[in-house]
Amino acid sequence: MSELAKYQMYIGGEWVDPVGGEWFDSFNPYTGQPWARMPRGGEADVDRAVTAADDAFSGGDWPALSPSQRGALLRRLGDLIAENAQSLAEIEVRDNGKLIAEMAAQLSYVPQWYYYFGGLADKIEGAVIPIDKPETFNYTRHEPLGVVAAISPWNSPLLLATWKLAPALAAGNTVVLKPSEFTSASTLEFVKLFEQAGFPPGVVNIITGFGHEAGAALVSHPKVAKVAFTGGEMTGQKVYQAAAVGLKPVTLELGGKSPNIVFDDTAMENAVKGVISGIFAATGQTCIAGSRLLVQNSIHNEFVDRLVDFAATARMGDPQSMDTQVGPVTTLPQMEKILGYIDIAKDEGAECVLGGHRAQRPECGEGWFVEPTVFTGVRNDMRIAREEVFGPVLSVIPFDDEEDAIAIANDNPYGLAAGVWTQSIKRAIEVSNRLQAGTVWVNTYRAVSYLSPFGGYKRSGLGRESGKQAIMDYLQTKSVWISTSDEVPNPFILR
């Protein structure tokens, strides 16, 4: 067997081996075989990385840069990502099995976050406050927090890391980033571009390793000032608790059980495509998956028939091929989780009208594939309707009218996203207003942009990524008071 590529971590501008001297395998989900070895970072490595980030924040070249110069660095980085988008996408596909068509498009779009937040870096203005005291001048400054711990998941490693890196760096922080143990390779390749762009050593550091080791040590490190996390709800809770001990602010982007609501006045063909894109694109492994299809009773059967006919044509196979439409599941435990939920749905009495098992197609080989799966007869109180599956499994729930649709949609602990399919502008606006979700798409699904805030209501998270607002989560506000009086009056009273 040929030697597997062996990676190192990136700390303080240097490539380093883990202190513990251990590596672990990273798998290609299409073949089910290991293809690279990742350093198993632990507490000592995390300490080294946070110390490097803290040193870079406190002295040297980075804090000496003006916000405009920081912005220029971010824009240069954006250009380098654009030049390297295809090769980064290929590595992501090898590591996480998502389609090259999807990942290449994602990576070509990633530079926009660095251009946008680079542009914002020198537009963060404080205020002069018209203070209600004589001979007093008061103004505010927005200052960076310090070392940001960024923790990213496996489903879109570089895009989701970027949502944290771009605003954090534009604001003047330094970062220690820990990618998922399942998909660390693209992040380690990506960080080379920071070096090329001219970021000073220590501004961005990469620690690899397991969540309960490297991840937990990073969140708890006393010199970490803020935590930005994307991942599962349970892990999000642990991260939040650990951050609370150090009173660190957090941004949490957790899962969802998003309703895609189809009214009977919809353009049926578009809605079918929208529902497919919501649940089968990216093999359903997106936080915004439209995993609950709410469809109006009057069109239920026709809509489900059309949907199943369309989904049944999905081409599965090699994710590096531009023709493939549904790729493998990224990790073995995730595939087992999805198959477990399929069994749960069957036991709960839902009717499986498509798929419902691991894919046995020859083109899927030994890869971790699950057939696109549709359950009808789902009640909103079933586990398959309440819990995040994070796979190509759709639950169809019928509804009678608008009130019913909204009640079912909102009756879920999550609130990340929702889709509405209707031709009525009145209904589109009224329903959107009443949905408890951080993002609502009308007659479209799965659209994101650097310009628009993204985040969850309810148990889907805290804070927003993208859009102008996001940078404020990486800043703290200082109020400066200057007296122009010639004397200090009575010192025993509050001014």
Binding residue for ligand TXE, selected from 71, 200, 255, 455, defined by CB under 6 A: 255
Q: Which residue's CB comes closest to ligand TXE?
A: 211
Q: How far is the CB of 256 from ligand TXE (least distance, A)?
A: 7
Catalytic residue, from 92, 213, 233, 253: name it.
253
Q: Does 388 bind ligand TXE (CB under 6 A)?
A: yes
Q: Does 278 bind ligand TXE (CB under 6 A)?
A: no
Q: What is the dihedral of CA 387, 388, 394, 400, to 10 degrees?
A: 50
Beta pairing partners, 462: 252
Q: Does 253 bind ligand TXE (CB under 6 A)?
A: yes
Percentages helix, strand, coil for the chain (3-state, rounded to 5) are 40, 20, 35
Q: Does 39 bind ligand TXE (CB under 6 A)?
A: no
Identity of residue 30: Y
Q: How far apart are CA 464 and CA 336, in angstroms?
A: 31
Q: Does 153 bind ligand TXE (CB under 6 A)?
A: yes
Binding residue for ligand TXE, selected from 254, 304, 353, 408, defined by CB under 6 A: 254
Nearest to 256 by CA among 412, 151, 401, 376: 412
**Residue 287 or 293: which CB sits closer to ligand TXE?**
287
Q: Does 155 bind ligand TXE (CB under 6 A)?
A: yes
Stretch that binds ligand TXE, among 89-97, 149-157, 429-437, 473-481 (CB under 6 A): 149-157
Q: State which H helix or E strand residue 429 sits in.
A: helix 425-434
Residue 165 C-alpha from the chain's centroid? 12
> String of b and e for 275-308 (b: at least 16 CB within 10 Å)?
bbbbbbbbbbbbbbbbbbbbbbeebbeebbebbb
203-232: contacts with ligand TXE (CB under 6 A) = 211-212, 215-216, 219, 230-232
Structure token pair of residue 83: 């030049």
Q: Does 384 bind ligand TXE (CB under 6 A)?
A: no
Cβ–Cβ under 8 Å, residues 26 and 39: no
Q: Does 249 bind ligand TXE (CB under 6 A)?
A: no
Can you tell me whether residue 483 is helix, strand or coil? Answer: strand
Q: Does 180 bind ligand TXE (CB under 6 A)?
A: yes
Binding residue for ligand TXE, selected from 54, 102, 181, 473, defined by CB under 6 A: 181
**Residue 201 or 211: which CB sits closer to ligand TXE?**
211
Stretch that binds ligand TXE, among 7-15, 20-28, 249-257, 309-317 (CB under 6 A): 249-257
Can you tell me whether residue 467 is helix, strand or coil? Answer: coil
Count residues contacting ligand TXE (CB under 6 A)? Answer: 27
Instruction: Render 332-400 in DSSP notation, one character per residue.
Output: HHHHHHHHHHHHHHHHHT-EEEE--SB---GGGTTS--B--EEEES--TTSHHHHS---SSEEEEEEES
Instruction: Render 78-130 in DSSP notation, one character per residue.
Output: HHHHHHHHHHHHHHHHHHH---HHHHHHHHHHTHHHHHHHHHHGGG----EE-
**Residue 124 or 416: which CB sits closer to ligand TXE?**
416
Binding residue for ligand TXE, selected from 238, 306, 358, 434, defined by CB under 6 A: 238
**Residue 101 or 176: which CB sits closer to ligand TXE?**
176
Binding residue for ligand TXE, selected from 48, 178, 226, 446, defined by CB under 6 A: 178
Q: How far is the CB of 251 from ligand TXE (least distance, A)?
A: 12
Nearest to 300 by CA among 376, 384, 409, 392: 376
**Residue 167 or 172: which CB sits closer to ligand TXE?**
167
Phi, psi for residue 224 in degrees, rounded to 5: -85, 130
Active site residue 364: no
**Residue 24 or 310: which CB sits closer to ligand TXE?**
24
Phi, psi for residue 212 in degrees, rounded to 5: -75, -15
**Residue 243 or 431: which CB sits closer to ligand TXE?**
243
Q: Does 235 bind ligand TXE (CB under 6 A)?
A: yes
Q: Does 287 bind ligand TXE (CB under 6 A)?
A: yes
Identity of residue 215: G
Q: Does 465 bind ligand TXE (CB under 6 A)?
A: no
Q: Does 337 bind ligand TXE (CB under 6 A)?
A: yes
**Residue at token pair 């189809």:** 262
Q: Does 239 bind ligand TXE (CB under 6 A)?
A: yes
**Residue 399 or 445: which CB sits closer to ligand TXE?**
445
Residue 201 C-alpha from the chain's centroid? 26
Q: Is 491 exposed, middle or buried (0-12, 13-18, 19+ CB in 10 A)?
A: exposed
Q: Does 412 bind ligand TXE (CB under 6 A)?
A: no
Q: How far is the CB of 424 from ligand TXE (least distance, A)?
A: 32
> String of b and e for 48-81 (b: at least 16 CB within 10 Å)?
bbbbbbbbbbeeeebeebebeebbbbbbbbbebb
Active site residue 287: yes
Catalytic residue, from 92, 287, 364, 465: name it.
287
Residue ranges in contact with ligand TXE by CB under 6 A: 151-155, 178, 180-181, 211-212, 215-216, 219, 230-232, 235, 238-239, 253-255, 287, 334, 337, 388, 390
Q: Cite the active site residues.
A: 253, 287
